[in-house]
Structure 1
Amino acid sequence: MKAIWNNEVIAESNKTKVVENNHYFPMDSIKCEYFKPSNTTTRCAWKGEASYYDLEVNGEKNKDAAWYYPQASHAAKPIENYVAFWKEVKVTE
C-alpha cells in the first residue's frame, strides 16, 4: 500500500493493518521528512488518545492529515504507533 499526497509517496508498506476502513502504516514505513508533529490530539472511545502529524510536501502543508495512537487501548494494541491518513491523502495499492 502507498499513501500519496501532493504527488509524493509519503508512506509505503505491505504490512498495513486495516481498522474501520483505514490503512494503518507501520511507523518505519513513513518518510519522516514529510511529517511534522502537531499539538492536536483527539480521543476515540475504544482506541484511546490519538496524536497527529502535519504533512509538508513540495512547499505545501496539510494540517493534521496523519494520526496515530502512541498508547493505544488494549483493544487497539495492534495499531499502536501505526499511522493512518485522511484529508486528501490517497491510499492505494
Structure 2
Amino acid sequence: MVQARWNGAVIADSDDAVVVEGNHYFPRGAVDTRLLSGSATTSFCPWKGTASYHHVTVDGRVNEDAAWYYPDPKEAAAEIRDRIAFWKGVEVG
C-alpha cells in the first residue's frame, strides 16, 4: 500500500500506484479529490504530453500545483491515464 500525505492528511492511498520516472501515479479513485482544486498551470513532457495541475488544500493550507496528471497522455505513457502524482513536499511511500 502506498500513500501520499501532506500536512497530516492522507491525500491518496492505493496498492495500484504506477511508478514512472520515480513518481507514483495513483488511480484517480484512490485520491481524496475533496482536497484538490484546479490550477491553470500546465507543463509539457516530450514523451508523456501536457500535464495539468491541482492545488492541494489541507486545514486551510494550500500547496500550489502539488499534484499533476496527464488528461490525454501520449501513447508511450498510456499507463498513467486517469492517474495523479504528487510533489512539493507531499510525502509518498
With the length of structure 2 as denominator, give the TM-score of the two structures: 0.97
Q: Residue type of the partner of 2:92?
A: V
Match in the other structure for 2:87 = 86
Q: Aligned partners of 1:15, 1:67: CA distance in 2, in Å?
A: 17
> Structure 1 residue 80: deviation in Å?
1.1
**Secondary structure, aligned partner of 2:24:** strand
Q: Aligned partners of 1:46, 1:81: CA distance in 2, in Å?
A: 17
Q: Which runs of 5+ in 1 are unaligned?
A: none
Q: Which runs of 5+ in 2 are unaligned?
A: none
Identity percentage of aligned residues: 48
Q: Residue type of the partner of 1:73?
A: K
Q: Residue type of the partner of 2:70?
A: Y
Q: Deviations over 1:23-60 (max 9, x none)?
A: 00000000011000111000001000000000010110
**Secondary structure, aligned partner of 2:29:** helix
C-alpha RMSD over aligned residues:
0.5
Q: How does 1:26-65 map to 2 (within 5 A)?
A: 26-65=27-66
Matched positions, count:
92
> Structure 1 residue 67: deviation in Å?
0.2
With the length of structure 1 as denominator, give the TM-score of the two structures: 0.97
**Secondary structure, aligned partner of 2:34:** helix
Q: Aligned partners of 1:55, 1:30: CA distance in 2, in Å?
A: 11
Runs of 4+ more than 6 Å apart: none
